[in-house]
Chain A
Amino acid sequence: DILMTQTPLSLSVTPGEPASISCRSRLSLLDSDGNTYLDWYVQKPGQSPQLLIYALSNRASGVPDRFSGSGSETDFTLTINRVEAEDVGVYYCMQRIEFPSTFGQGTKVEIK
């Protein structure tokens, strides 16, 4: 299984300030089709995971443009430009280049 490592595991952010979460894969997630199969999700309390970013850097429908994804074959970053109170939750990275899909441990984002 492809190990996914997220850092930090918790983050406390002042509203309006930026925040970033890192995710590292043990293997390259760049496929031969040119896509990098790394996605980002947020799970808010009592809800199912919501897709934020798919295939490295594509924002999902309805996701505010303050969220962005970047990275290379094994190192990835989710950036929130200006954190808002509604951004609290647990953020996960996920690889789906091969089964089983594997997830980072999750990063809990809190608002100061």
Chain B
Amino acid sequence: QAQLVESGGGLVQPGGSLRLSCAASGLTISNNYMTWVRQAPGRGLESIAYISSTGSSTHYADAVKGRFTISRDTAMNSLFLQMRNVRADDTGVYYCVTEDGGVPFWGQGVLVTVSS
């Protein structure tokens, strides 16, 4: 059974850095694109970063462009999100999302809190 497990969240000060990980099992990340979706407290869902199935193409939402970097390690079958210069409005739950056999698939999410 396919599974995505996010980790690396926690409390970080404004201007600080954090690296989120998403470990995949039961599916091979190099077969599919992968994205990070986040949800601020009490708000809707926002897709913020994308990496293609080949890993050669990445895209970012304007809100995180220049501050966040999406990457992957196919040997570890894992996805990452390096977050730099974080702000209070980056607070929220971050989800790792992909497709498995054409069906969207989400992890359970990891909480990031940006506060001094």
Contacts and interface: CB of A to CB of B under 8 A. Distances in A.
A94 B47 CA distance: 10
A31 B104 CA distance: 16
A51 B47 contact: no
Interface residues of A, number: 19
A7 to B, nearest CB: 15
Contacts of A105: 44
A10 B50 CA distance: 31
Question: For the complex, would chain B's binding face be called helix, strand, loop or mixed by DSSP majority?
Answer: strand
Contacts, number: 49
A99 B47 contact: yes
A100 B47 CA distance: 6
A99 B48 CA distance: 9
Contacts of A58: 103
B30 to A, nearest CB: 18
B80 to A, nearest CB: 18
A39 B106 CA distance: 13
Contacts of A96: 104
Nearest to A105: B44
Contacts of A99: 33, 35, 47, 50, 59
B102 A55 contact: yes
A30 interface: no
Interface in A46-92: 48-49, 51, 54-55, 58, 60, 92
B109 interface: yes
A35 to B, nearest CB: 8
Interface string B48-78: 1010000000010100000000000000000
Interface of A: 35, 39, 48-49, 51, 54-55, 58, 60, 92, 94, 96, 99-103, 105-106
